[in-house]
Homo-oligomer: A and B are copies of this chain.
Amino acid sequence: MAQADFPEPVKNLIGELKRLPGVGPRSAERIAMWLLQSPKADPPELAKAVMEARDTVIACPVCGFFATDAACQLCDDPKRDDQLLCVVEQATDVLPLERSGAFRGRYHCLGGKLSPLDRVAPEDLRIPPLLRRIEQAEGSIEVILALGADVEGEATANYLAGLLRGGKCRISRIAQGLPAGGGLEHADGLTLMRAIEGRRGW
């Protein structure tokens, strides 16, 4: 006599859900049960949303942010400042900057950061299109390197600064220091060192 288990289609569904990041075996089972049993669940809507996003969303060939074939919100917006170009690692880094309201220029998503250990070399990043954009920009342009404060982010920023130095653009990078709301007692030594190094006149 066989030990009973979920029917094959339920096992498949659990298997696919389990592959999603942050979804373990137990959550996958729970989500599958919810999809099959809850009156609030709408499996066709979920399946449709998955396929529609996959079929219509591309990386904008200019800036690398999420776009559709029809439009890129960032590149198509006529009100953004063409003289400011913010370089970020990932397309997802654009949203926190947008939500902060701190920046309303153009963006360039590299698609990653230099990381020899993960075998990410300069040619794996969207660097040539960045150089082309800067080359073709009209008037003076400031390139803001908004990369992470980790080793790879620093290396990537250094590499780009080296490439761009002496060119037509000014280069800046976002500040490192104490995070907002954070007291000194919670800051690590490196953060404090950066905060002291980056101090500004009152």
* Residue A10 CB within 8 A of the other chain: yes
A30 touches B36 (CB 8 A): no
- Comparing A19-27, A157-165, A183-191, the segment that makes contact with chain B is A19-27
Residue from B8, B16, B31 in contact with A45 in the complex, judged by beta carbons closer than 8 Å: B16
A90 to chain B, nearest CB (A): 8
B34 touches A20 (CB 8 A): yes
Complex Cα spacing A50 to B92, Å: 27
Q: Looking at chain A's contact residues, is the secondary structure mostly helix, strand, loop, or mixed?
A: helix
> Taking A3-B99, A27-B22, A79-B1 as contacts, is the C-beta distance between A47 and B51 under 8 angstroms?
yes
B4 touches A94 (CB 8 A): yes
* Residue A132 CB within 8 A of the other chain: no
Copies of this chain: 2
Residue from B32, B57, B73 in contact with A36 in the complex, judged by beta carbons closer than 8 Å: B57
- Comparing A64-72, A115-123, A148-156, A173-181, the segment that makes contact with chain B is A64-72
Chain B's closest residue to A35 (CB) is: B50
B43 touches A54 (CB 8 A): yes
Complex Cα spacing A22 to B6, Å: 21
A-side interface residues, number (CB < 8 Å): 62
* Residue A77 CB within 8 A of the other chain: yes
B80 touches A1 (CB 8 A): yes
A36 to chain B, nearest CB (A): 6
B19 touches A40 (CB 8 A): yes
A110 to chain B, nearest CB (A): 14
> Taking A30-B22, A31-B21, A31-B23 as contacts, is the C-beta distance between A13 and B73 under 8 angstroms?
no
B73 touches A2 (CB 8 A): yes
Chain B residues with Cβ under 8 A from A138's Cβ?
none
Q: Which 3 A-B pairs have the closest CB atoms?
A: A1-B79, A47-B47, A13-B53
